[in-house]
Amino acid sequence: MNLNGVTIDDAFAEAFAMKATRLIITAHNLEWAYHAATAATGFATSVIACGCEAGIERELDRAETPDGRPGVAILLFAVSTKELTKQLERRVGQCVLTSPTSAVFAGLVQGESLPLGKYLRYFGDGFQTSKLIGGRRYWRIPVMDGEFLIQDTTEMVSGVGGGNFLVLAESQPQALAACEAAVAVMRQVPNVIMPFPGGVVRSGSKVGSKYPSLRASTNDAFCPTIMGGTATQLTPEIRSVMEIVIDGLTPADIGTAMRTGIEAVVAIGAAGGIRRISAGDYGGKLGKFHFRLHEIMA
Percentage of residues in the chain with pLDDT exceeding 90? Answer: 95
Position 113 confidence tier, pLDDT thresholds 50, 70, 90: very high
Distances (CA, A) of 162 to 5, 69, 243: 27, 33, 11
Domain stop point among 157, 175, 208: 157
Distance CA 173, CA 150 (A): 44
What does DSSP assign to residue 50?
Answer: S
CA–CA separation, 191 and 162 (whole Å):
14
Residue 295: partners with Cβ closer than 8 Å, 6 or more residues away = none
Backbone angles phi, psi at 289, to 5 degrees: -95, 120
How many domains would you assign to the chain? Answer: 2
Residue 37 binned pLDDT confidence (cut-offs 50, 70, 90) = very high
Residue 112 Ramachandran class (φ > 0 left, ψ -120 to 50 alpha, else beta): beta
Q: 157, 190, 212: which is the final residue of a domain?
A: 157
Over residues 138-150, the pLDDT tens digits come to 999 999 999 999 9
Q: How far is CA 199 from CA 103, 144, 188, in A?
A: 26, 36, 13
171-219 per-position pLDDT tens digit? 999 999 999 999 999 999 999 999 999 999 999 998 889 999 998 899 9
Task: Quote the mean pLDDT of the chain.
Answer: 96
Amino acid, single-letter form, for residue 225: T
Q: Could you tell me what percentage of the chain is helix, strand and coil, using 3-state DSSP and rounding each to the nearest 5?
A: 30, 35, 35
Residue type, 279: A
Give mean pLDDT, residues 255-270. 98
- What's the CA gap between 16 and 290, in Å, rounded? 9
- For residues 42 and 39, give the distance between their C-alpha atoms in angstroms, rounded to a whole number: 5
| pLDDT given at position 282 | 77
Domain that holds residue 96: 19-157
Residue 95 sits in the same domain as residue 198: no
- What's the one-letter identity of residue 30? L
What average pLDDT does this structure show over 104-111?
96
63 and 148 in a single domain? The answer is yes
One domain for residues 183 and 139: no
> pLDDT, tens digit, for every residue of 13-35?
999 999 999 999 999 999 999 99
111 and 189 assigned to the same domain = no
Q: Are residues 149 and 276 in the same domain?
A: no
Q: Are residues 152 and 167 in the same domain?
A: no
Q: Which of 38, 249, 233, 68 is nearest to 155 (CA)?
A: 249
In Å, how far from its chain's centre is CA 50?
Answer: 12
On the question of pLDDT at 285 being above 80, the answer is: no
Per DSSP, helices labelled H in the chain are: 30-40, 81-91, 117-120, 172-186, 251-268, 293-297
Amino acid occupying residue 173: P
Q: Which of 104, 137, 157 is the last residue of a domain?
A: 157
Whether the Cβ atoms of residue 276 and residue 240 lie closer than 8 Å to each other: no
Count CB-CB contacts under 10 A for residue 207: 14
Determine how many CB atoms are found less than 10 A away from the CB of residue 18.
25
